[in-house]
Structure 1
């Protein structure tokens, strides 16, 4: 569990934005726009094995951003499998990230090919916002796109999917 806090005495983010999310390097400038104001940021890493990492970022105890990754068979139609979930996140639109991606109002999903365990596979990266930060939907979608574009290759590498 990671915890960061700082005291600035003003409203806004009174915590340090991390340079990694549960071990996956991220640029703080890409993550920061998607985090709400607050005093303390904590992270919880968990998973369902090496090929299914999960991470929660909480601000002041409230879930802010959820990250997940999955190594799946090369034959899986990732976008079809995740269609309902993306619709729930609001107005998914295609994006040119990896082999395919969707950016929604409150989340983003991308898939890319990789080799894991000597077999052709796919890696799926998912980011879901639990709070509407930033408030402006287009800025939020743009921030999700930028973060996902950087996060996908780093998360893929982190699970050993080359």
Structure 2
């Protein structure tokens, strides 16, 4: 009887660990004032006790700086702003060299993106007030995967997050 109880407790503990329920915080429903899917955000967040979700308004151009920190370590940082043009071709090489395993990736929204395992540069097409909304994304911590497919969880988050921000700012463009 005791062996059955211990086995059941072990399986429950294993299930909680596998689903990420061991963290002392709740995955936020919003980031940068945009609603995000928890299933797309949670794979980026390590286990921890305290999560800080910050947003600061940009002063030079319309936009914002946002960050998520777990136990004092910044895990996700996004700076976005309205722009007249997408990322310039001459700057693409520098971005690809700066990010780990970066390449131009197809995205689910109108625009273009260079995504690596530890960050991204994104230009999303807009309607108003400018033709583009550009994003500088930095991803750090133990969940960064330095592998050929390490960019996929960051891309999954961006495929949800970028359209959510453009919709929140009412600058969504048609494909």
TM, length-normalised to structure 1: 0.79
Does residue 55 (structure 1) correspond to residue 78 (structure 2)? The answer is: no
Does residue 36 (structure 1) correspond to residue 46 (structure 2)? The answer is: yes
Q: Which residue of 2 aligns with 1:3?
A: none
Does residue 71 (structure 1) correspond to residue 104 (structure 2)? The answer is: no
Q: Which residue of 2 aligns with 1:109?
A: 121
Q: Comparing both structures, which one devotes a greater share of its residues to helix?
A: 2
Instruction: Check conservation: 2:63, 2:82, Cα contact below 8 A.
Output: yes
SS of aligned partner of 1:115:
coil
Q: Residue deviations 1:77-97, cap 9 Å, x none?
A: 445446424422212111111
Q: 1:79 to 1:100 in 2, by over 3 A?
A: farther
* Unpaired runs of at least 5, structure 1: 1-7
What value does the CA root-mean-square deviation take over the aligned residues? 2.6
Instruction: Check conservation: 1:106, 1:132, Cα contact below 8 A.
Output: no
Does residue 92 (structure 1) correspond to residue 102 (structure 2)? The answer is: yes
SS of aligned partner of 2:151:
helix
Q: Comparing both structures, which one devotes a greater share of its residues to strand?
A: 1
In structure 1, C-alpha distance between the alignment counterparts of 2:68 and 2:125, rounded to whole Å: 27
TM, length-normalised to structure 2: 0.74
1:12 Cα offset (Å):
4.3
Q: Which residue of 2 aligns with 1:5?
A: none
In structure 1, C-alpha distance between the alignment counterparts of 2:27 and 2:127, rounded to whole Å: 32
Q: 1:136 to 1:84 in 2, by over 3 A?
A: closer
1:19 Cα offset (Å):
1.1
1:15 Cα offset (Å):
1.1
Q: Which residue of 2 aligns with 1:124?
A: 134
- Largest Rg, 1 or 2: 2
Q: 1:78 to 1:32 in 2, by over 3 A?
A: farther
Corresponding residue pairs, total: 152
